[in-house]
Every structure is written in C-alpha cells, then in structure tokens.
Structure 1
C-alpha cells in the first residue's frame, strides 16, 4: 500500500495536538470556593495558587496533600472560577486573616494567561472548514475533472477520438439523402482541402442543421465526423451559460482554442438556440446579458477563422426562426440544411437500418415497405421506437422471433398509447363510443378524399382515448378545398353519428372539434381559401408569442363568421351522408360492440369494396404494382408554410 506523506503528516500533527490537549496528566477537577476553603485552605494543604486568564484559579497542593482528598486520588490539581481578581484577593486575605496566618507564610499567588489548543481549534473550525472546501474545489473540481473552481471557464465539450470513438458512417444514416449530399462537401474539404484551396475556394465556415425533434440532426453531424476521419467536439448550447459572469464567453474561447489544436476537426453545438437567440429582446432587466455576451464571443470566434485552419462548425436546433441574424449570415453559418421528417422511401430505408439487429423470420425488404406505409409522419426516432417496442412485445410473450403482428401492435402502441384494461366502460358508454367510431369509419369510407381506413377500435387507450380509428394517409403536402372539406367531414363523423342516433351529444368529440376548428381557421385566415375574405393570409394563428392580431376587429369578426359557416357546411354534409348510410353505421356499430376491433377486411365484408381507389392499399400486400412505384419515390413538391 502506498502512503502519501501529504496526507499522513497533517493527520499525525492533529492527533498529537488532541493528545496533548486531553492528556490525563493535565486533568483537574472543578470545585467551589467553599470546597477550597474547607477542604484545602483551612487544613493547610495549599502550596500555591495560579490565577489563569483572570477568571479561574488553579490550586496546587503540598507534597502528599492530595492523597485521598475529596475521594479523587488521581486528580493532581483543582480549579475554581472567580468573578474578578480584586474580589478573589480580598476574600483570600480575609480567610487567611481568620486562620491567623502571618504575612510571611501566606499562600503565594501568581498570574498566568493560558491558551487552550482544543478550544482554539474549535473556535477556528468554521474557517478551517471553509478553507479546506476551497482547496478541494480548486484541486479536484466537480465531477473529478481536475479543473476545479479555477477551471470554471474551461469548455465542457467532449472530444470523440477519430480512431475509436466515432464509428457512425453515412451508411448508418438513412432517410435524409438530400441532407447527406449537401453536407458531403464538408467531408470532401476536410479530407482533401488542397483541391479546394488551389482553385481559390473557401469552405463554408459552418452549417445549421434544423428540423423537428428526432429527425437525426446529431446523428448526421457525428456521421460527418466519422466519414471525414477527424476529431469531433460535441457540446450543448446550455453548457455555455452558468451563474458566473463571463463564464460563457470564456468557454467559447476555450472551445475554439481546443478545436484549433485538433484541426482538422468538427465542432457540433447541439441546441444552439440556447445561446443564439436574437439579441435585444426581453433584456429590460439585464437577464440576458450573460447569454448575449456568450453569443457575441461566438460570433467573434466564428468570424475570426482563417480559411486554412480546417475547422468546421455544425449546429443543431429545432427553432431556426429565433436565431440571431448575425449568426446566420454568410461567413458564419453559411449553409442552412433543413432535415424534415422522412417520406415513405426514407422511412423504408430507416426501417431497414433498425430491423437488422431484430431477430425476425419476416422478409426484411417487404416488412420495411409495409411498415413505412403504416407510419406516415414518423421521424427516425419514432421508427427506432417502433422496432424496439416490437421486440419488447415479442419478449413479453416469450416468443422466439418478432413477427409482423408485433410490429403492428408496436405502431398502435406508439400512435394511441397502451391499452387500458383497467378502464371498463358501462354498456351505455360502450354503445355511444361504438356509434361514434362507426360514424368516423362510415364517413371516411364514402368520402373520396378521406384517408383509407385501416382499423377501428372501441378499446380505451392512452390518456383519454375511449376509442380510435386508424387511417392510412399518404405523404401529401398540398391540399385542395375539396380535400380539406372531406377531411373535416370525416372528423365530424363521430359527433354527427351521436346526434343522429341518440339525439344528444357527449364530450367524446372534443378532440375532433379542435381539429376541425384548426383546419377551418387555417383555410380562412392562412391559406386564403375563403371567397368572402379573399386571397389574404394572416400567418399562423397558433403563434403564442403574437400579442396583437394583424387585422382589424371587423376582419376578425368576418373570419369568425366564415369559419362558423364553413364548419356548418361540413356538419350538414356529414349529416346528409350518414343519414343516407344509416344502415351501414348500424351494422358497423353492432359489430364493434361485439368484436371491439374491426380491421379493413371486416369493413369490406360489411360495406363492400370502397368506391374509391386507395392508392397505397397495394403497399400493405405482398407485391407492389408498377403503378405504385411513383409513390415509393421521394416527393419533390414544395410544401406549404404550415399545415
């Protein structure tokens, strides 16, 4: 065992001091003045007295005088307290005069000041403790990093080694072909910078990777570093801001200094909107001074790069609209790479990546194709969650492999939540939910532009869903007024069915009404589809940071009236449709109450083939027809600004 002298010596010194402070040779007993007078002074046993610190008197006895005194044979000295030295001297003189002791034989009294080592240590214990804590923080630092409190301005960026820590390549990133193509230019520059420099070209300083959560922004940045074979410095935007003033700017400087030492390398700042928000907003009370100073330092560091330093800065954010304009200008973050949710072809590629480690007997290409069609709007993280949930469901049932039914159950779990077996509906509630969901299903079955129905259920799931209908929408970015009207009618099918069959309405249509209201306001106020209001757009009505309306009171009243009229038209159209198809709603509702879950085959047996062609219906089978090949290719249409 290795002994550290720096630790042993202080412990030995402390032990010695405590030993001397509490040594038995210095032990004494506390007595009173009466005990001193009657036991020692009157019997002539006192040799001398010592006044300590002007408040205590130590009694020294003659040789042999302590034997058996006060039944304390091991005590060598006695002490008693005094109020003042003058009073003590007067009482001592009076006592000796009463005893007739001549002046030449009176007891000698001396005065002495003593300091207790133990008392002094206790007195300075808080100060010593504080000094010890500061020394510990200065040497060790939080988390054992060794930087300590004096290294609070050091960057917390984690460095991934190019040989061992970065194993992600572009082949491991699926569903974002356009983004990979655009970012490949950074990889080529880091691999072969001379080819660009000899032509006078300068590589862009950085790129913003923006997109919804779970679309793979961080994964793409790491794959860029792995593909280029260079070090990768990863840091979160929130790690720059601390309670200490100036720490953020200091960490930015240290981060870029480390990057220059490891050049060529890649810096990835995740959630850069934590420090990159537009300056000058909400700063009346000085709450953003530290964040803004951090942003200013980041701007300086990025603009101070030389073209030959071979350092690329990538940043990820979910909110590119709040970033400062100075951060987005050419020369800093030159490229703005949007990473959206994948289309059906992208989801198929992502499923192929995540299905490889899954133990299944299914044909992986066909399974990935089917699952991609069943998961419109899913991000890469959602796809990975589906594969993981399917494996968990198979393991829960002690299966040897994961089957296609497990994947469908996993999709259902991700979309509508876990089945609530403890929530038992009364017969009246079950009947109401059955007719409500039957209204949705029948309305969508006979509306041309409604999404094809895949499954309808009255089993309670999730937080508040007593039933649900699962549809199979295609990846569509542009909608006409007729398509939006059919979607509104399908959404209102549950409320209309309750009104037709029971003459009353329940609270079960709350979510449906919110969706319909949102679609109606979008058509009138955002997309300019209302003939009365005209082709005007007033932006996104869901913007909660907008405190004033961009239109007058009269226009607002007109918007409300037109929205109410639009929803009324959809309600009347749905009422006419379900009244005409009343028998079909009855059949679907009765079978729902019996089986609780109906799939597409059950609907076809009850209602016959859907009168409109489902363009994605073939994707759920075993083969894909040539006519459906175009639906497997990435869509290149320009999506609207909001939906």
Structure 2
C-alpha cells in the first residue's frame, strides 16, 4: 500500500509526452477527492500491473480448464469487481502490454470500462519528455532548443529510450572530462541506443571494410535520390552492437498513413546495400541479411494486410485476435499466389534500385571512398558530395536539426502546415 503524503514522489507535472492519457487519469483523481460514505480503505486506487498474467482469455487454445488456478483467480477478480458500487470511491486500474490477449469479460462496462492507450510519443511529446530529463543536466546550450533538436532526431523513441539517451550522454561527457554535456555527446548517445556500442576491438580486413563502405554508400545514395525516402542523418562503417558492421541513420517522420509509392521507395532504400554490392563487386555477401528480413516483412504486409496488390485484391488476412493461431485464413492456392506476388514486388523494387545505382554510380563511388577515409559521414558531407537533395523535405525536421526553430510549441501547434512550408 502507498500513502500519498509519504510514498508518492511523482506528480502529474513530472509526466510528459502523453497528454491525452494524463487527462483521462486525472479524472479519477477528481473523483477520489470528493469522498462521502466509503469502505475501509476508500477512497483508494487498486492498481494491478501486468494483468495479462491472470487475465488471459479463457478457453483459448484449450490451455485453461475449469479447475485451472489462473482461471479461478480471474473469475474471483470479476466477481469482486462487480461488488464495487459506483458510489464507493474505489477505483481499479490495471496495466498491460498485451491488451489483445485479455478476456473480453474484463473489458465490459462496470469492470475495466475505460481503456487508455499509451502510444509512443510524437515529436512534441518527445520534446516535452526531453525537457523533463534535461532538467538536472548541465548542458552547453539552451535546453528548450536542445530538446527540440533531440526530439527531431529520435523518431519512434519511447520515454524510457529518451531517459536512456540523457543518461548515456551524461556518462559520455563525464568520460571525456567535459564540464557540460554537449550536443555531440547527445548524438553519440543516440547512436549508442539505436545501433549499440562501438566495437573498437573488431578489426575488419581491407576487403571487408571496402564491401561495408560500398554497401552503406548504396543505402545512402538510394535514399538521397528517391522522393519518398527518409532524410539521411548519418552513415557509418564503424562496427557496432552484436553484428552490425555499419549503419545508416535516417529521420523517419511521425507518419501514420503510407501510400504504395512511399512503401516502394522504402523497400528500394532497404535494398540499396545488396544492389551496390552486386553492381561494384559482382558478388553478394551475408551483410544484407537484416535488410532482406525488413523488405520481406514490408512486402508481405502490403499484400496480406493492406490490400495493395491487384492480383490478391482488397483483402486483409491478418486477424489481430488470432495472432497465436497456426491456421491460415486462406487456401493453398491463395498462399502460393501471395508468395509469387511477394517475390515479384521485391524483384521489381530491386531492379529499380539497381537501375538507380547504375545511373548514380559515380555518386556511390564518391560516398564509399570518403567513408573509407572518414568512417562516419554526416548530412553536410553528403550535401558537399552530391549537392542538395532534389526533393523538398519536411520543413519541421529540417528546422529542428539546423536550429532555425526557436519555439516548437508555437509553430507545430498554432500554425497550419502550409505556413510552415512557406517559411
């Protein structure tokens, strides 16, 4: 049990990046602050963490029987929740990362009847979270601007990832003997979180290093010259993590809808490394394993989930409630057709990539040679080598990276997108 005066150290003002969920939770507090006749410990909140441990759907896959202990616990929980009247000032909260496996009875009105989804924060949410974690850190520049730039460089990061970046940056600064945490320390920390620790002890042979350089240059050049590819931030051939011999860091925007053209360009960018190897060395290596896994997932998703293939049609064969089922909801003939269309989609994207790199062969050569010399190239190096990217990029990210924006909230919240583009 927690006592609010002595045990609870975190207030609502300390939580950032999930405003909608915070507003919903605050309604419970208002409800509890006005108690009139109540039970022994009321007003109180009962919080059950990881409720999927006892709250999984009954009878799924024959895993639970009438005498199963977990099922008996779930039944008792349902009965007890029915015993709380709406005027008794007892609120029951629960948390889970697997809402898809919960028993439907738990989600009915009168039990857990309000469902709050905590998504990963968008760019504004990330900036707010960075400001919270930057509070105790001594930085070399204005924390408001720094939080904005870091938010732009960390798409897809959760609150825990952002806390990790701030801790890593402080450690890197301390290791370097710096009195303040600099922008470069945060960049190194983001690399550490995304790609893992630098493996300085791993020495590549000259042939391997050359192959990795041309592989990464292929990714970078395809991304640079494809309209819907994400803006490149950095490309490196320094070995990192468990198996990464090099990596390219991009800035995917916070986007929730993707067109077929955008997904096609992403597939081409992902295949850029393999195509570059074939073009320059006439052989392929195992270095594209992770790329091929990503592109295969993208192709299958377009065909069996998004209905983006004319031959298979406007269908979605993915059932979110049957994720653990081994039964495919389509015939063998359809399965064969899906496999054929996946291969064709990847083959077409690969041919597009190969044609582009053949046309931009000199650009790949420039990037690869400079990579072999410097090992890490940033956005400015790419602009020097290839000129400005031929397509207009999302101005919001461009402003944040180049420090042209003074206030994120005022621009992203109050101005329409057309005004941002004109500026």
TM over 0.5: yes
Could you tell me how far apart the structure 2 residues matched to 1:507 and 1:318 are?
34
Tell me if the contact between 1:343 and 1:376 (Cα under 8 Å) persists in the aligned partners.
yes
1:137-176 alignment, distance < 5 Å: 159-176=1-18
TM-superposed deviation, 1:578: 0.3
**1:182 alignment partner, one of 15, 24, 27:** 24
1:448-597 alignment, distance < 5 Å: 448-539=227-318, 545-597=324-376
Q: 1:626 to 1:262 in 2, by over 3 A?
A: closer
Q: 1:544 to 1:185 in 2, by over 3 A?
A: closer
- TM-score, normalisation: structure 1: 0.62
After superposition, what is the alpha-carbon deviation per residue over 1:169-208, rounded to whole angstroms, capped at 9, x for unaligned?
11111001111112222111111257xx9xxxxxxxxxxx
Determine which structure has the larger strand proportion and give its number. Answer: 1
Tell me if the contact between 1:343 and 1:634 (Cα under 8 Å) persists in the aligned partners.
no
Answer with 1 or 2: which has the greater Rg.
1
> What SS does the aligned partner of 1:454 have?
strand
Paired position in structure 2 for 1:325: 104
Tell me if the contact between 1:526 and 1:540 (Cα under 8 Å) persists in the aligned partners.
no
1:173-252 alignment, distance < 5 Å: 173-193=15-35
Q: 1:480 to 1:288 in 2, by over 3 A?
A: farther
TM-superposed deviation, 1:451: 0.3
Could you tell me how far apart the structure 1 residues matched to 2:71 and 2:386 are?
63
Tell me if the contact between 1:273 and 1:322 (Cα under 8 Å) persists in the aligned partners.
yes
Paired position in structure 1 for 2:419: none
After superposition, what is the alpha-carbon deviation per residue over 1:72-110, rounded to whole angstroms, capped at 9, x for unaligned?
xxxxxxxxxxxxxxxxxxxxxxxxxxxxxxxxxxxxxxx
After superposition, what is the alpha-carbon deviation per residue over 1:608-635, rounded to whole angstroms, capped at 9, x for unaligned?
0110112121211222289996656899
TM-superposed deviation, 1:596: 0.5
> What SS does the aligned partner of 1:335 have?
coil
TM-superposed deviation, 1:284: 6.0
TM-superposed deviation, 1:288: 7.0
Q: 1:338 to 1:629 in 2, by over 3 A?
A: same
**CA-based RMSD:** 2.3
Could you tell me how far apart the structure 1 residues matched to 2:178 and 2:319 are?
48
Aligned residues: 414
Structure 1: gaps spanning 5 or more residues: 1-158, 198-258, 636-643
Could you tell me how far apart the structure 2 residues matched to 1:287 and 1:326 are?
16
Paired position in structure 2 for 1:406: 185
Could you tell me how far apart the structure 1 residues matched to 2:197 and 2:285 are?
24
After superposition, what is the alpha-carbon deviation per residue over 1:539-587, rounded to whole angstroms, capped at 9, x for unaligned?
1699761211100011111111111111111011001100000000000
**2:174 alignment partner, one of 395, 419, 422:** 395
> What SS does the aligned partner of 2:60 have?
coil
Tell me if the contact between 1:344 and 1:632 (Cα under 8 Å) persists in the aligned partners.
no
After superposition, what is the alpha-carbon deviation per residue over 1:383-441, rounded to whole angstroms, capped at 9, x for unaligned?
11111111111111222111111111100000000000111000000000000000000
Structure 2: gaps spanning 5 or more residues: 417-423
